[in-house]
Amino acid sequence: MPKSSLQPSPQSPIMVPGLSRRLSLLRNTSTAEDLGDIGIPKDAKFTPLSPKMSPGKSAAYEPSEVSSHSSSESDGRLKKLLRRTSNALRSGSFSSEGSMGNLANSKDAMADVNTKLDELRISQPLDKRSMPVVLLNPGIELLRITHRKKVKRLFRIDMDTNRLLWNNKSSSYLSIDKIRNIRAGDDAKNYREEFKVSSDYKDLWITIIYNNEQTFNNIKALHVIATRKEDFDVFLTVLKNLLYFKVEMNRSFANTFNNEYLATFHWNNNVLPYHPPVQSDINRVSKTGDRLTYEGVVKLTKKLNINVDTDYLGVIFKQVDADHNGYLNFDEFKYFVKLLRQRPEVMALYDGMIRPGELYLSFEAFKNFIVDVQHEDYDESTIKKLYARFSQTGEMSSDDFTDFMISSYTAALRDIEEDFSRPLNEYFVASSHNTYLLGRQIKGSSSVEGYIRALQRGCRCIEIDIWDGETDAGGKCPVVTHGRTFTTSIDFKQVIEAIRKYSFITSPFPVILSLEVRCTYENQVKAFETMVEVLGDTLVTTPLDETSKMLPSPQALKHKFLVKVKKTNKALSNAEFQSSASASTPSSMSEDNSTLIPSKLIPKKTKTTKISSELSSLGVYVVGTKFTNFSLPESKTFNHCFSFSDRTLEKMIKVDEKLAAVLKHNRKYLLRIYPSQFRFSSSNFNPLPFWEVGVQMVATNWQLFDRGQQINEAMFAVGSHSGYILKPRSLRPGLRLTDNRKQKNIVNLSTYDTVKEYTFTIISAQQLPRPKELKSSVLFDPYVELEVYSGKILTCSVNSTLPGGIVSSASMQVGRSDSSSSSSNGEEPSSHLATDQYPCATFTTPSISRNGFNPVWNQKCSFTLMSNAADLTFVRFLVKCKVSSGPNDILIGVYCCKLEYLKRGYRHLSLVDSQGEEFIFSSLFVKFDETII
């Protein structure tokens, strides 16, 4: 049915967590509660900031009028404090050793006033002229907390490099672009408790979560304690402002409507010379007094991640330098920014739709584009609203059309119908293996950040390995770690508290806690008590319906925790528990139950840990069960769950009879797959063959964003990002099999028998970041690879001509065709599964020389693909940089999606880096179409 109203929400800024509330407070005219402690009358009123800045001016927030309740005495005291503080700051009387040096206590208080008022200015982006002076030089004194020491440091902002600095060491910094989250107060409780810091410092503690450039252990944390509440407020608010507006500035290069705003910010921050924001400078307007040379333009573009040929910059520079004097004033700089942001490929699309004799895109042409090209299911009323929304003057200009093409109304992924009313066994569940690890399996860091990151990305099944640990007093306590390896450990209670806090932010649907229990009876009881205490009534301890023999639905289990744990047949005392440990094989067919000897990296059989009756009682709907075969009674219980490594199940599904048994089992019952113990580097398998046989919980290593993890996250990156995807109809119960040979019928459902034709045009990319490993002397020559996963390629073709008739080096390689044949060729159905890591086809564009800012390829590839009833075909776009020396080209960004999710028409695909973090400013512009044959 056509949509009768606008369905997508308007594109809105991405908010740093907690920033919206903070900026709302700063914009509010009623700020008396925050100001009374620094001498400002509680009933003083403030004039809201103008939405625009003027070049050379700070975004000053000044008191407009003091009410009758204020006294001239307090007003005079405030001015006096401000004047004396300004003098103290300009005098530079700070010690370089991390203390405040010669400033007296009264002067400290004056600095508080200055920074407090500066805090009120940041409802607009901070630049060098509006940044609180103390954060530029010498910095704010904070106590840095590490496991080894607690030391005072001066923290300052370097606006030129966009870094937060402390100490004088070259390594003592973090890039503000790499900050992923800032936690304070109760949000940082687990870190504060980890360092045994009193709750008295709760309101002064800040934890900064950021990424480094490493492949493993790339999540880092900086912990600081402010010495005063005023310093805490300034430091926290400024960092959140820089994060928020960095996103907005990067995003604004794609928009056309805010050219003045963007140009003004960069002019203030990069062109105007820095002066302390005293009154004479604040009132100074400098649109023509300062200038930008060509060399300055080249330097600025590099800083802004504009990786483009300098010759191209020179052409634009000469075009806007109206006086031919070799430099740009502010008005010329605005024009320069406008030209730089133009999208010639979008302009060509726009020009192709304009009728002869018309200057603007008519409504009829726009409607035809929406319906016939984009294939959107909008009625005419909705299309009229879209046209009116993006036509600033009543007629759609090229700039208006460009803004529409990058808006949320042209999102790449379709809206799917989501049904959460079916039993749990009928869903694919986003699942994680060894969730606590940040790096490799043998030697790496364990952190609650692993759980937080996975949950925030939509993971719904997380693993907790419980081992025996020791308290500071020498007592026993449960900890979470990868036992008998060199990995670190985490307190079990901290893990459960973090899980409780972050589980239902991204999705309201149930979280499954998969327990691997390796601890003593006492610690098992402690773990049970901790879970009951922390999780409370969100923990499922009894069946929702005692009479039902079916698993409940995700809808029925919203905001609930399920525990996957082995069952104990009887209640054991502590003594009986200790004597009952068996030397038999592990209690499930799980390689995870083997122990790795790090020096030899080989598995070793260990005794099975018996589960206490208390912990066992939590296994209500997901009972870990030892696998013997699929015919025994325990294989028919509605709440059992088998666990296999990827290698074990991969071997099983190569045998036709076992494949049929796996397919039949997974229709009604749960199964979990995890990476083999031999994946020491935390690499991931291809999840597709396991989804194709109906495995619900395909657990991957979320700490490594490799090919397997990219496909895994792409499966769930649609709709509400619930972490639950209803399985295809062919993999769920209820399908009637009338043939007497049911086994063959079940297996044949996995064969490839549906043919579709797909066409991709890889048009362009926007604002590609220059790889750090690319030497400055090496040219930045990007190209794109398109990989297709699962299915058999029947035919393919490539448009090998670039615009202008130039023959390109585009190519398409077809792989896996020999192992993906149709059952009509007499091959075993099991050979149709995507059991390897490699794509069935790869298309490669030519490289574009020296242009990472706006490279245009306009390369088309078409292919016909045979798929099965599950239709689990994925595509992966890899943007790479050509390197003449070395074995491999450099990966810049990735986009992966299920082909069924991708909308037809022209779409912008948001790229992510090698760690799975989205580039706010980098995208790939493509056209996609499909035909069922």
At 214-256, the pLDDT tens digits run: 655 567 889 999 999 999 998 998 888 888 776 666 555 555 4
Question: Cα 428 vs. chain centroid, distance in angstroms?
Answer: 21
Q: Rounded mean pLDDT of the chain?
A: 76
Between CA 441 and CA 436 the distance in angstroms is 10
Residue 508: asked if its preceding bond is cis (omega within 30°), the reply is no
Q: Is the pLDDT of residue 31 over 70?
A: no
φ/ψ of 758, rounded to 5, equals -120, 145
Mind listing the pLDDT tens digit for each residue in 295-335? 888 877 777 778 888 888 888 888 888 888 888 888 888 88
Q: Which string of DSSP letters, residue by residue, matches 626-693? A: --S-SSSGGGS-TTEEEEEEHHHHHHHTTSHHHHHHHHHHHHHSEEEEE--TT-TT-----SHHHHHT
Question: Cα 838 vs. chain centroid, distance in angstroms?
Answer: 25
Output 626-632 pairs: Cβ under 8 A, ≥24 positions apart.
626/586, 626/587, 626/588, 626/589, 627/588, 627/589, 630/661, 630/662, 630/664, 630/665
Q: Which of 272-276, 434-438, 595-599, 604-608 has the lowest mean pLDDT?
A: 595-599
The residue assigned the tokens 């030209």 is: 339
The pLDDT assigned to 490 comes to: 92
The pLDDT assigned to 18 comes to: 34
Higher pLDDT: 562 or 31? It is: 562
Write down the domain spans for the chain. 121-253, 260-273+290-410, 424-569+608-726, 752-812+834-932
By the 8 A CB rule, do 707 and 686 touch?
A: yes
Catalytic residues: 433, 482
Higher pLDDT: 483 or 15? It is: 483
Q: How confident is the model at residue 903 (pLDDT cuts 50, 70, 90)?
A: very high
The pLDDT assigned to 840 comes to: 86
By the 8 A CB rule, do 11 and 408 touch?
A: yes
φ/ψ of 421, rounded to 5, equals -100, -5
Output 200-207 pairs: Cβ under 8 A, ≥24 positions apart.
201/225, 203/229, 203/232, 204/228, 204/229, 204/232, 206/142, 206/182, 206/232, 206/235, 206/236, 207/182, 207/183
Between CA 814 and CA 866 the distance in angstroms is 13
Cα 640 to Cα 564, 611, 698, 775, 782: the distances in Å are: 9, 16, 16, 55, 50
The pLDDT assigned to 148 comes to: 82
Closest-CA residue to 286 (of 122, 119, 129): 129
**Which DSSP symbol is given to 442?**
S
Q: Which of 338-342, 454-458, 820-824 has the lowest mean pLDDT?
A: 820-824
For the domain bounded by 752-812+834-932, which CATH number is listed? 2.60.40.150
How many other CB atoms are there within 10 angstroms of residue 780's CB atom? 24
How many other CB atoms are there within 10 angstroms of residue 861's CB atom? 24
φ/ψ of 784, rounded to 5, equals -125, 140
- CATH match for 424-569+608-726 among 2.30.110.10, 3.40.30.10, 3.20.20.190, 3.40.50.2300: 3.20.20.190
Between CA 482 and CA 488 the distance in angstroms is 8
Mind listing the pLDDT tens digit for each residue in 159-184? 878 889 998 787 888 988 888 889 89
Question: Which tokens is 333 given?
Answer: 């700089």
Higher pLDDT: 169 or 419? It is: 419
With left for phi above 0 and alpha for psi between -120 and 50, is residue 537 left, alpha or beta?
alpha
Closest-CA residue to 755 (of 695, 813, 822): 822
By the 8 A CB rule, do 809 and 846 touch?
A: yes
Mind listing the pLDDT tens digit for each residue in 650-674? 999 989 889 999 999 999 999 999 9
Mean pLDDT of 133-148: 87
Q: What residue ranges in 196-237 does DSSP mark as E strands?
A: 205-211, 219-226
Higher pLDDT: 287 or 290? It is: 290
Mind listing the pLDDT tens digit for each residue in 186-213? 888 888 888 888 888 999 999 998 877 6
Mean pLDDT of 888-911: 94
What are the residues facing 302 on neighbouring strands?
none
Mind listing the pLDDT tens digit for each residue in 82-105? 344 334 333 433 333 333 333 334
Question: Which tokens is 554 given?
Answer: 């995700």
Q: Is the pLDDT of residue 348 over 50?
A: yes
The pLDDT assigned to 251 comes to: 56
Q: Is the pLDDT of residue 468 over 80?
A: yes
What are the residues facing 219 on neighbouring strands?
211
Closest-CA residue to 491 (of 447, 441, 440, 445): 447
Q: How confident is the model at residue 354 (pLDDT cuts 50, 70, 90)?
A: very high
The pLDDT assigned to 91 comes to: 40
Q: Helices 19-27 & 229-252, crossing angle to 10 degrees?
A: 100
By the 8 A CB rule, do 890 and 835 touch?
A: no
Mind listing the pLDDT tens digit for each residue in 11-24? 333 333 333 333 33
Share of the chain above pLDDT 90, in %: 41
Cα 166 to Cα 179, 452, 764: the distances in Å are: 16, 27, 40
Mean pLDDT of 137-162: 88
Q: How confident is the model at residue 645 (pLDDT cuts 50, 70, 90)?
A: very high
The pLDDT assigned to 536 comes to: 95
The dihedral through the CA atoms of 90, 96, 102, 108 has a sign that is positive
- CATH match for 121-253 among 2.30.29.30, 2.60.40.1220, 3.30.450.40, 2.60.40.10: 2.30.29.30
Share of the chain above pLDDT 70, in %: 70
Higher pLDDT: 570 or 913? It is: 913
Higher pLDDT: 484 or 298? It is: 298
What stretch of H or E contains 238?
Answer: helix 229-252
Q: Is the pLDDT of residue 912 over 80?
A: yes
Higher pLDDT: 296 or 851? It is: 851
What stretch of H or E contains 118?
Answer: helix 105-119
Strand order in the sheet with 782-789: 792-799, 856-867, 754-766, 918-932, 905-912, 890-898, 874-881, 782-789, 841-844, 811-814
Q: Is the pLDDT of residue 28 over 70?
A: no
Question: Which tokens is 523 given?
Answer: 């610690």
Between CA 150 and CA 147 the distance in angstroms is 8
